[in-house]
Amino acid sequence: MLRALFDLDLRLVRVFVAVADAGGVTIAQAKLNITQPTISTLLSTLETRLGYRLCERGRSGFKLTDQGERFHALCKTFLTTVDEFTAVARNMDKALSGMLKIGLIGHMSISQNARISDAIALFRQRDEAVHFSMSVKPPGEIEEHLLSGAIEIAIGYFGRRVPTLDYTPLFNERQLAYCGRGHSLFGRAGKLEPAEVANFDWAWRSYPLPEAQLPATSGRVTAQADNMEAVSLLVLSGCHLGYLPEHFAAPYVAQGLLAALNPQQLGYEVTFLMVTQKQIRQRPIVDAFVEDLKQAHMDLGHGSARAHRDDESVCRPANPVQR
C-alpha cells in the first residue's frame, strides 16, 4: 500500500497516464518507446504499490477500473503541477515563469486573431519564460473549463454572467442569417422579411446567445450544433436557414454558395469577451497577459506589437520548458 508520495515513482505515473490516454498498451508502446512486457510490468508495479487494480488488460481489451478512472484524473492534475513546478524552478531568474492556459472559440476574424497575436508578441517582450497552452473549444464548453481551472483566460461569447467570473468586452462581431444555394429562398435572398422566413427549418446553436433572436417558433429548429463550422454545413445543405458570422460566410457568399436573407433586418451584433476568474489577486502571468490583450485591442492599428515584429527578439522562443 502506498505510504507517502515519494514511494510512488514518477515514471510509473507517466507510463500509466500514457497507456490510459492511448486506450491500451499496444498503442502506447510507440509513444513510450518501450516494449509491451516492460509496460505491463510497470503497470503491475504501480498497482502493487497502490494496493488496487487500475485497469483490465488482456485478450478482452483494455479498460480502466472505477478506481483507475479516478486515479487517471488525479494523475493528470499531479503531472501538470509537476511540470509547472519544474518550469518555475528552472526559471527563477525570470519575472514571469510557468504555464498560461488560454481557451478560444474557433473561427474568429483574421483581424481579431491578429490582435491576439499582437498580445502574445507584447507578452514575449517581457522578462518571462512562460509556456503557452492554447486550446479551441465550443462556446458551451469554454466556460466550464474556465470554472474548473482547466483554462485561465477565455476569449469568446457567453450567454450568461457567472458571479465568480470577470467579463471584459473586446470587440463586436456581426452575424447574419443565411440560406444555401439549394434552398427555395436563395433566389429571393437579400430583402426577405422576417415573416417570410419564419416557417422554414432553421439550424440553431446548442449554447445560449442572448443577442440572437430566432425569427421562427422553436418547433422550426430542426438542427443544432455547437460550433460555426457545423452550422455552416447545415445551412450549405440547402435544408436549413441559420446565422453565421459575416466574415466566416464571406468566402461562401463570394462563391455563390450562401446568400444573406436580409442584412438590415436579420442580423445582430455579438460581443466577444475576455473572461477570467474573479479573484482578489490573479497569478502575475494572467495579469500580465490580460494587460497585453487589452493593449492590443486598444491599439486599432495593431502598432505597438507588430511594429517590432522584424526584431527577432520580440518573438523569440521562451526558455525551454520541460513537457
pLDDT in tens, 121-151: 999 988 888 888 888 888 778 888 888 888 9
Model pLDDT, residue 265: 92
3-state secondary structure (DSSP) of residue 129: strand
Q: Looking at the DSSP assignment, which residues form a beta bridge with residue 63? A: 56
Residue 163's CB: how many other CB atoms inside 10 A? 5
Q: Which of 71-80, 164-173, 291-300 has the lowest mean pLDDT?
A: 291-300
Q: Looking at residue 68, what DSSP letter applies?
A: H
DSSP conformation letters of 14-33: HHHHHHHHHTSHHHHHHHHT
Q: What is the CATH number of domain 172-270?
A: 3.40.190.290
What pLDDT does 321 receive?
Answer: 32
pLDDT of residue 203: 93
Pair type for strands 165-180 and 55-56: unpaired
Query: Domain 90-170+271-306: which topology?
Result: D-Maltodextrin-Binding Protein; domain 2 (3.40.190)
Residue-wise pLDDT tens digits, 218-240: 678 899 998 889 999 999 999 99
Q: Is the pLDDT of residue 5 over 80?
A: no
Flag the least confident range among 61-65, 104-108, 116-120, 228-232: 104-108
| Length of the chain in terms of residues written | 323
The mean per-residue pLDDT over the stretch 161-165 comes to: 87
Question: Which triple of cell numbers denotes residue 104?
Answer: 478560444
Q: What is the pLDDT of residue 8?
A: 65
> Would you place residue 319 in the very low, low, confident or very high pLDDT band (cuts 50, 70, 90)?
very low
pLDDT value of residue 107: 76
Q: Which CATH number fits domain 5-89: 1.10.10.10, 2.40.50.180, 2.60.40.10, 3.20.20.70?
A: 1.10.10.10
| 256-281 average pLDDT score | 88
Structural contact between residues 277 and 152, judged by C-beta atoms closer than 8 angstroms: yes
Check if the beta carbon of residue 154 is closer than 8 Å to that of residue 274.
Answer: yes
Asked whether the predicted pLDDT for residue 7 surpasses 70, the reply is no
In the predicted model, what is the mean pLDDT of residues 207-213? 67
172-270 has the same fold as 90-170+271-306: yes
Q: What is the pLDDT of residue 218?
A: 66
- Average pLDDT across the chain, whole number: 82
Range list of H helices, 55-188: 66-90, 110-124, 139-148
Region 232-254: mean pLDDT is 95
Q: What is the pLDDT of residue 278?
A: 83
Q: Which residue has the cell 438590415?
A: 264
Phi and psi dihedrals of 319, rounded to 5?
Answer: -55, 140
pLDDT at 182: 95
127-140: b (≥16 Cβ within 10 Å) or e? ebbbbeeeeebbbb
C-alpha cell at 144: 466550464
pLDDT, position 211: 61
- Confidence band, pLDDT 50/70/90 cuts, at residue 296: confident
Backbone angles phi, psi at 254, to 5 degrees: -60, -30
Listed residue (247, 299, 256, 294) closest to 274, CA to CA: 294
More confident residue, 222 or 322: 222
Give the residue extent of every domain in the chain: 5-89, 90-170+271-306, 172-270
Report the relative pairing of strands 128-136 and 267-277 from DSSP bridges: unpaired
SS3 167: strand
Q: How confident is the model at residue 98 (pLDDT cuts 50, 70, 90)?
A: confident
Residue 177 pLDDT exceeds 60? yes
Q: Distance between CA 239 and CA 126 in Å, rounded?
A: 51
Quick check: 254 and 238 in contact, CB under 8 A? no
Q: Distance from CA of residue 145 to its chain's centroid? A: 9
Q: Is pTM beyond 0.75 here?
A: no
Segment among 34-43, 46-55, 206-215, 297-306 with least mean pLDDT: 297-306
